[in-house]
Amino acid sequence: MVERKKVLMLLSNPFRPDPRVHREALSLVKAGYHVTIICWDRGLSLPREKVIDGIKIIRVGPASDWGNARNMVKNLPKFWKNLRRTADGLDYGIVHAHDLDTLSPGLKLASRKKIPIIYDGHEIYHEMAGENLSPFLVKFVAWYERRMMRKPDIVLTVNEPIAKLFRGYGAKDVREIMNCQSDAGVDPSRVDELRKVMSPGGKGTALYIGVLEPNRLLLELAKAHSAGEEDFILVLGGFGSLEGQLKTIADKSNGRVAFIGKVHPKDVPAYTRAANVLLATYDPKLRNNRIGAPNKLFESMIASRPIIVSKGTYAADVAEKTGCGLPSEYTSDSVLSAVSRLLSDSELYKKCAESGRKAYEEKYNWAVMEARLLEAYSKLLN
């Protein structure tokens, strides 16, 4: 039993940390499991080995450019080889592979030791990769994803629409573990400090913190609000290919747009509470966006902050069902108008804020998801 409660997680990012992976690993450690994560440090800039919150992290190469799909495809087999070599020196009884780019080596490791494997599909992988791959490669990855989905003992994913899709691929046992979070609490003085940073004059704020890439309406919102008349500040933070353009727009916006740059995950809850409205406006034309559930949705519930989401998405369905925010057309004018509506209608704002918090307490919290995770692991142990 002791050996069986040793978990080897596989991850293709350097764990800075990855929020979903971190939450799951913490829950397992708390339940008496020993967790080791082998992950890919493409920048070769972080410590090779480190213990974080009782979780052993081992980072391997090779070096590879982020955002360069061709380079990533070229170096992926080298990562798999390094991963397997590192795993050979470890003791583990369950393999937990995160996303499709670690499933193949995970299956080999599990097969070699005749132990169970969990696959954790954070999204529809070929849809995500399709933004950077040729149509031919997208079709190949889609075929590969459908084929590989049938092999793990248990498949975890982030919501019911994706779970339904994976079942259609032939996955044996699919379970929904949403990216809900725990309310760790935030220092009120830190919230006040960040509120002054984002809005020195005390105006309302609409906040987006996340990956700064296309298909999130970020450039469109920044340009429109910079030239608009709505009486609030648009605050943008994170990292990605749009950083430079967004900073330039903010610098020329006369204070209407604020760019705060990279934000450490531990600071996100404080920023969320310091803001008035959150934004999660992803392009509904992309299927991952239509059926995904962004972390910001659950962050808004914890903080009692209304959120604006794109119509035609699963996030919009949750927002309407729970009352935690407003669905908007995927246009800058519609989103900015929705923010103004919330900030000018105190009754509507209060209703969304209270409804979101109620939804968090009743369903969309990590305690509920943690129980599902431990139940899946218990099945494998038994």
Lowest mean pLDDT among 43-47, 68-72, 150-154, 175-179: 68-72
In whole angstroms, give the CA distance from residue 271 to residue 279. Answer: 13
pTM: 0.88
Give 92's Cβ-side CA count (13 Å radius): 26
Rounded Cα distance between 33 and 288, Å, is 32
User: Phi and psi (nearest 5°) for 361?
Assistant: -65, -30
Instruction: Dump pLDDT digits (tens) for 24-62.
Output: 999 999 999 999 999 999 999 999 999 999 999 999 999
Q: What structural domains does the chain harbor?
A: 6-180+365-381 (3.40.50.2000), 188-362 (3.40.50.2000)
pLDDT at 129: 72
Residue where the block lists tokens 């793990």: 152
Nearest by Cα to 176 from 152, 194, 160, 188:
160
Once rounded to an integer, what is the mean pLDDT over residues 347-366? 98
Give the pLDDT band of residue 185 (cuts 50, 70, 90): confident
